[in-house]
Amino acid sequence: MNIQKTTLGGGCFWCLEAVFLRVPGVVRVVSGYAGGHTNNPTYKEICTGNSGHAEVVEVEFNTQVIDYSGILKIFWLCHDPTTLNRQGNDVGTQYRSVLFTHDPEQEKIAIQSREEAQKNFTDPIVTQIAPIPTFFPAEDYHQNYFALNPGNPYCRFVIVPKVQKLEKHLLN
């Protein structure tokens, strides 16, 4: 197996985690924080917006099943990359759209992918692309949140439509 890693931010990490856990070839997804200026941030600190971190997911995937470009196609599909520091009712810099790349090749592919994705949006894409800073895993209760809390109203009304959109996309 050839495993590659990428780190993505596109709103609430529960949403991205739920989506990417369903993608064939994805072997692991960890919710966490990256891009800020404090070490070992907590969810409480992230929520203030003062730490500078974004909610992100670290995605490990088998490149023999899905390549980095395929991961990015799903990334553009599962959130709105044209809204600055916002996804739906989630507002703040911690919900920004960001691609943290793990090597120069990922950076090149990410830039090309953003340019290609722009064709699908009227408004400009505001997604940042930057080398991965330190990744901090989120607290245990954030991991696999959707699967463990399917009755939660946020899960039912925000995450379920994203998962359904992915499933429809994968069937086409």
CB 56, CB 34: distance < 8 Å: yes
Q: Identify whether 12 is a catalytic site residue.
A: yes
Q: How far apart are the first and last CA of the chain?
A: 26
Q: Catalytic: which of 12, 15, 78, 155?
A: 12
Contacts of 160 (CB under 8 A, 6+ apart): none
Question: What is the CA angle 38-40-46, rounded to 5?
Answer: 65
Q: What's the one-letter identity of residue 4?
A: Q
What is the C-alpha to C-alpha distance for residues 98 and 105, in angstroms, rounded to an integer? 17
What is the C-alpha to C-alpha distance for residues 51 and 49, in angstroms, rounded to an integer? 6
Active-site positions?
12
